[in-house]
Amino acid sequence: MQLFDISALVTGGASGLGEATARALVAAGAQVTITDLPTSAGEEVAAALGGGTRFVPADITDELTLGAAMDAATERGPLRAVVHCAGRGGDRLRILGKDGEPSPLASFEEVLRINLVGTYNVLRLAAARMVRNEPLDGDRGAVVMTASVAAFDGQIGQTSYTASKAGVHGMTLVAARDLAAAQIRVNTIAPGIFDTPMLARLREDIREGLAASVPHPRRLGAPEDYAHLALSLLQNPYVNAETIRLDGGIRMAPR
């Protein structure tokens, strides 16, 4: 699907992978709307991206505000592309604490609510708009979701995060099958370790250690690497129902 002049929405567009994807979409000539939490730097980021980029605040788990963001994107033309990057890290809790007590259920539920329920909310509300589009290059729309390599090799303390991202991976095939009749493609990127604000909270020596553990290239992923693949997945009409690891070949150790 061509990207020039189409309306595209990026969730989590105020930071990290979403911001880089929005920048790449602007460069490709798309009409870009970014959405992120009201507390984010979305307004400033949209202004810096230029190209008429709009910021519409929304919580991905909220039907009303997210729907309004999608409607705002639709005002700029039929919404054809959604790249869903909004999400949160895990709670870093082991199943049993040092005292042998089970970890709090509420923490597990919260990670699932944002990363998995939020992703389903993005998917269903986007599809409801895309199905009304006339096909362009054979697609009414294309969605890119974001999992993580933790979906496949989750580390100790990542039970909630891994469950949420494995859920996103698991939804990919069934969503693509389900939405095939609507001519909507659904793919997922499973990033390795990327240099974004989500990772910035780690100590520098830990970040260097992580970079050194990547087989090739021996560095953290750049948000532009993600944007490159996201745009390619939107453009290539024959990629569908796929989760692609984007990780320099890394396989995470147990801890």
Ligand X SMILES: NC(=O)c1ccc[n+]([C@@H]2O[C@H](COP(=O)([O-])OP(=O)(O)OC[C@H]3O[C@@H](n4cnc5c(N)ncnc54)[C@H](O)[C@@H]3O)[C@@H](O)[C@H]2O)c1
Q: Which residues bind ligand X (CB under 6 A)?
A: 12, 14-18, 36-37, 40, 59-61, 85-88, 114, 118, 146, 148, 191, 193-194, 196-199
Separation between Cα atoms, residue 208 and residue 119, nearest integer Å: 31
Are 173 and 190 in contact by the 8 Å Cβ rule? The answer is: no
For ligand X, the closer of residues 18 and 141 by Cβ is: 18
238 is catalytic: no
CA distances from 137 to 3, 56, 89, 184 (A): 11, 28, 36, 12
For ligand X, the closer of residues 241 and 250 by Cβ is: 250
For ligand X, the closer of residues 56 and 127 by Cβ is: 56
Are 250 and 216 in contact by the 8 Å Cβ rule? The answer is: no
Are 115 and 171 in contact by the 8 Å Cβ rule? The answer is: no
For ligand X, the closer of residues 114 and 241 by Cβ is: 114
Separation between Cα atoms, residue 238 and residue 127, nearest integer Å: 19
CB of 156 to ligand X, least distance (A): 17
Are 46 and 69 in contact by the 8 Å Cβ rule? The answer is: no
CB of 29 to ligand X, least distance (A): 23
The angle that helices 159-178 and 118-130 make with each other, rounded to 10 degrees, is 20
Tokens 């909310």 found at:
121
Q: What torsion, rounded to 10 degrees, do the Cα atoms 189, 88, 115, 169 define?
A: 20
DSSP 20-59: HHHHHHHHTT-EEEEEE-TTSSHHHHHHHH-TT-EEEE--
Encoding tokens for residue 165?
């991202």
CB of 187 to ligand X, least distance (A): 14
For ligand X, the closer of residues 78 and 120 by Cβ is: 120
CB of 254 to ligand X, least distance (A): 17
Separation between Cα atoms, residue 77 and residue 51, nearest integer Å: 15
CB of 20 to ligand X, least distance (A): 8
For ligand X, the closer of residues 26 and 133 by Cβ is: 26
CB of 43 to ligand X, least distance (A): 12
Q: Which residues are marked as active site?
A: 161
